[in-house]
Structure 1
Amino acid sequence: MKKTILLAGWLLAACPAAFAQTHYLENLKLENQQVSKTGSRVTVSADIVLDEMELNRQQSVRLVPVLVSADGTRQQELVPVLIEGKVRSKVTDRKLALGELQEEEGMIRLKRANGEEQTVAYQAETSFAPWMVNGRLEVRGYVTGCAACSEGDEVMAAGSILPYSEPTFTMAPAMQPAEEEVKRRAENKSARLEYRRDSYAVLPEYRTNRAELDSVQRSFALLKDNPNLTVTAIYITGYASPEGSMAYNEKLSQRRAQTFADYVQKHNKDLPKDLWHVSWKGEDWDGFVAQVEQAEGWPARAKVQEAIAQCNDNIDACEWKIRQQLSADDYRYLIDELYAPLRRNDYRIEYTVRNFTPEEARQMLEVRPDLLSAAEMQRVADSYGRNTDAYRKALDTALRTYPDNVALRYNVALAAVDAGRYTKVIALLKDTQDGASLNLLGVAHYKSGDKRQAEQAFRRAVQAGYAPAEESAAKVKEALELLGK
């Protein structure tokens, strides 16, 4: 019993702080702390100031800087720093000399000189992982006593690391489509009448002509009877197919165009004569070439295409050569299927449309959007209020009507951004050359997760003259550098 008491007394004398609570980290300071990312590496540096730390001579403090994820589920320990008291340092030196202990690779080890200024210039590197972004740095202290026994652990919060927040981007407001001083419109159609051989007389009851002429008259009536429209010009152009000589077909197309115009004028006497304009083109050779190109199931197609390729400028000779090469059945197919659509009179009715009140424009958007200007459609959409289904529906109709209108396309895309429909935005703007639209495309790419495409779009927006995209490009570049994506 006496020996046991003496042994306990010796341990207490040798390790006076063995059972005492330690608070070393509260006397430790970090200065010039920095956590940076370069490429795929993260560097942590700091000056660890020990000036106010009074370390018991038998103790050691193992400082382990640790990178911790924002949610605390991931961590990465860095190179440790071992700070030893005077006696503990000597013990470690002796063990190292005797080979009883090996120096931990990369570890910084020093002896604390109590009462003196002492700073550790710490720096460590590790591989970057995305979970480190918006994480934190901790310094964990593990105190060991004279018999290598643990005497407590401490943790010091050392601040956040690799801060990142989703950037906000400047976007141009909705554009206003240009006003149309005069709303000019036109109907372009074709009348394919059938004629007796070598004839140019319009015969309403011949074959399918009655249905064709009725269709023509309906086209005129729809425009004349609409009080919102004013017919301003009618253009009729006659065409012939390549049978016969070019000179003959020139005259034939002229006569057929004129007789067709006379017939239509007779049934539309309320339209002034000075509105009518008649012209003719002779053989529609280009139309014939296109017809052959589309006749994929025709056995003679390749033979005819070869003849066309070799005909040079002598169309009459070329047509004769084609005729000579074809069988009776193939030539009949040529006459009935390929030549027939070329015998026609194209007609174009030009007219103007009056302007509509906002309420009229709302109604017209549902039934005849083509009679509204792009600016009128935009006003209808605006009347519903942005970020409403009616607003988006009106703009979609407007863009279908005017697919090449830059302002409408931008506004539809902007509404899609507001609704989080980034795939739609990318599809709408993928071919745009407009600066503000390219900037919006960059926003959509970024929001959909493609930061590299976003940066490219922002750079193109700057080149196209949209200066605010420069800042957006810089934000994306910073994100790429930090996130490595």
Structure 2
Amino acid sequence: MKKTILLVGWLLAACPAAFAQTHYLESLKLENQQVSKNGSSVTVRADIVLDEMELNRQQSVRLVPVLVSADGTRQQELAPVLIEGKVRNKVTERKQVLGEVMEEEGTVRLRRVNGEEQTVAYRTETPFAPWMVNGRLEVRGYVTGCAECSEGDEILTVGEVLPYREPVFALADVMQPVEEKVKRRAEDKSARLEYRRDSYAVLPEYRTNRAELDSVQHSLALVKENPNLTVTGIYITGYASPEGSVAYNERLSQRRAQTFADYVQKRNKELKKELWHVTWKGEDWAGFRRQVEQATDWEKQREVLQMIDGCEGSQDDCEKQIRASLSANDYRYLLDELYAPLRRNDYRIEYTVRNFTPEEARQILETRPDLLSAAEMQRVADSYGRNSDDYRKVLRTALRTYPDNVAIRHNLALTEIQAGNYDEAITLLKSTQDGASLNLLGTAYFKHGDKRQAAQSFSRAVQAGYAPAGENATKVKEVLELLGE
């Protein structure tokens, strides 16, 4: 796409050098001027109006447009225009006939007829270089007299060329996380009680059972004694390890789950009976496989995993096959180390949490952020001000608590961009699929200097349904074309 950039300020406020003896440039007029970048070249166009120039018959003015970098360290001279007085023009023509004059390629030469209207339709091209962006155009005039001697130089600063200003992108403002109508929470735990052989009675003083039961009671106390929480259900699920028959282990897991539930329920009588729910699963083969996967130092690991994966039909037959393949020591290891964690009761405590004021939420955030909703955390963050360190600190806590919350992630990335932390914003957003967040990722990439990644992110944002990213994608495309990247 060809992009044309109009020169700014070709109003001629001539600035001749202090030592200049002539002032021809201030009599020039430049009209219909344009500087444009077309692919790998820059085109300069202008109509140079000479109507008001009164040129000495013996003199010539060599006009040289020059592109100069913004810092003045680089420049590129363009094709010159040679304007000659009547006598000087005749001398030049005579020398051309004699082969004494070699004009620079692209030079436009004409005789000035004082008092008449004359216009030079100037057009030239030069290869583009990045330093030309935000540069300036000067017109330098070199006046030569009858004896080929210099009679003064003039410089006219025309104005800025190929101006580039970093685009301002359309961004979604802070998103508001969805409010939780009811804040439902749960604690998932496991109680690995030890039982005497073929027994399902809960024996508090048997081996490590006291510590396990105290842990269960502590988990319940943390919920039921917290005035901000309301218990809505306790779900107990019993499991067994694969040794023995499937039918036997089904009954065993049922009885152990029920006796465990009875034991705990008696010690928490304030919790209504309808809150308790007991189920059982029998043999836990999925858990068995996980245990074997973790036994990386066991030489039988691969063999047992293959037998588990190849098990079809009767689980009793599979268990017998595994047992038969192991030595006495390996089977003892299986029973004591890999089966033991499978003989357990999982329990889940479900509860609701009341809503908190921003002041209350500030205090709770330090100890139990999981009791706050994402919306409550956002309100705490807002109370500190969006550009504050505390705002970002609260949102980081919120994101750790709710890593899948699109609004929290977006808001944190937005404030990181505003703080100039583009690396952090990219890390936060690089896996996002949300349109507004992809648009934000494009902005972070652009600010970081990766314009092509920015273009890709804006394009993905459009595909994800975020329409404003289309305008941003166009801006990046124009920048890439201008800068030649």
Please give the TM-score of this superposition, normalised by the length of structure 1: 0.91
Residues 254 and 78 (structure 1 numbering): CA distance in 2 closer, same or farther, change over 3 Å?
A: same
1:59 to 2:59 alignment: yes
Residues 294 and 223 (structure 1 numbering): CA distance in 2 closer, same or farther, change over 3 Å?
A: same
Per-residue deviation, residues 188-213 of structure 1 (Å, max 9, x unmatched) = 00111112222222221222111111
Q: Distance in 2 between matches of 1:260 and 1:130?
A: 76
1:179 to 2:192 alignment: no
Q: Can you give the 5+ residue segments of structure 2 that lack an aligned partner in the other structure?
A: 1-18
Q: Distance in 2 between matches of 1:322 and 1:100?
A: 105
Per-residue deviation, residues 69-94 of structure 1 (Å, max 9, x unmatched) = 22222211111122223333333333
Q: Distance in 2 between matches of 1:20 and 1:314?
A: 106
Counterpart for residue 373 of structure 1: 373
8 Å contact from structure 2 (residues 20, 154) kept in 1: no
Q: Distance in 1 between matches of 2:69 and 2:447?
A: 24
Counterpart for residue 137 of structure 1: 137
8 Å contact from structure 1 (residues 83, 111) kept in 2: yes
Counterpart for residue 196 of structure 2: 196
Q: Distance in 2 between matches of 1:157 and 1:393?
A: 51
SS at match of 2:173: coil
Structure 1 segment 98-113 matched on structure 2, within 5 A: 98-113=98-113
SS at match of 1:234: strand
Counterpart for residue 125 of structure 2: 125
Counterpart for residue 414 of structure 2: 414
Q: Distance in 1 between matches of 2:166 and 2:245?
A: 72
SS at match of 1:56: coil
Structure 1 segment 297-312 matched on structure 2, within 5 A: 297-312=297-312
Residues 283 and 60 (structure 1 numbering): CA distance in 2 closer, same or farther, change over 3 Å?
A: same
Per-residue deviation, residues 409-436 of structure 1 (Å, max 9, x unmatched) = 2222222222221211111122222222
Q: Distance in 2 between matches of 1:469 and 1:31?
A: 38
User: Once superposed, what is the RMSD of the aligned Cα atoms?
Assistant: 2.0
1:25 to 2:25 alignment: yes
Pairwise CA distance, 1:176: 1.9
Pairwise CA distance, 1:20: 10
Q: Distance in 2 between matches of 1:309 and 1:222?
A: 41
Counterpart for residue 14 of structure 2: none
Counterpart for residue 4 of structure 1: none
Residues 152 and 462 (structure 1 numbering): CA distance in 2 closer, same or farther, change over 3 Å?
A: same
Per-residue deviation, residues 341-376 of structure 1 (Å, max 9, x unmatched) = 211110001111122233222211112111122222
| Segment drifting more, 36-45 vs 456-465 | 456-465
Counterpart for residue 6 of structure 2: none
Q: Distance in 2 between matches of 1:73 and 1:166?
A: 22
SS at match of 2:96: helix
Counterpart for residue 384 of structure 1: 384
Counterpart for residue 160 of structure 1: 160
Q: Distance in 2 between matches of 1:140 and 1:375?
A: 65
Q: Distance in 1 between matches of 2:240 and 2:171?
A: 55
SS at match of 2:58: coil
Counterpart for residue 229 of structure 1: 229
Question: Which amino acid in 2 is paired with 1:65?
Answer: P
Counterpart for residue 49 of structure 2: 49
Counterpart for residue 8 of structure 1: none
Q: Distance in 2 between matches of 1:237 and 1:283?
A: 12
8 Å contact from structure 2 (residues 70, 134) kept in 1: yes
Q: Distance in 2 between matches of 1:484 and 1:189?
A: 60
Q: Can you give the 5+ residue segments of structure 1 that lack an aligned partner in the other structure?
A: 1-18
Per-residue deviation, residues 222-258 of structure 1 (Å, max 9, x unmatched) = 1111111111111000111111222222122111111
Question: Which amino acid in 1 is paired with 2:415?
Answer: A
Q: Distance in 1 between matches of 2:20 and 2:288?
A: 104
Pairwise CA distance, 1:455: 2.3
Counterpart for residue 116 of structure 1: 116
Per-residue deviation, residues 104-149 of structure 1 (Å, max 9, x unmatched) = 2222233333333322222222222222122111111111122211
8 Å contact from structure 1 (residues 96, 103) kept in 2: no
Pairwise CA distance, 1:267: 1.5
| Segment drifting more, 460-469 vs 337-346 | 460-469
Task: Give the total of aligned pairs.
Answer: 467
Q: Distance in 2 between matches of 1:356 and 1:203?
A: 42
SS at match of 1:242: coil
Pairwise CA distance, 1:34: 0.6
SS at match of 1:454: helix
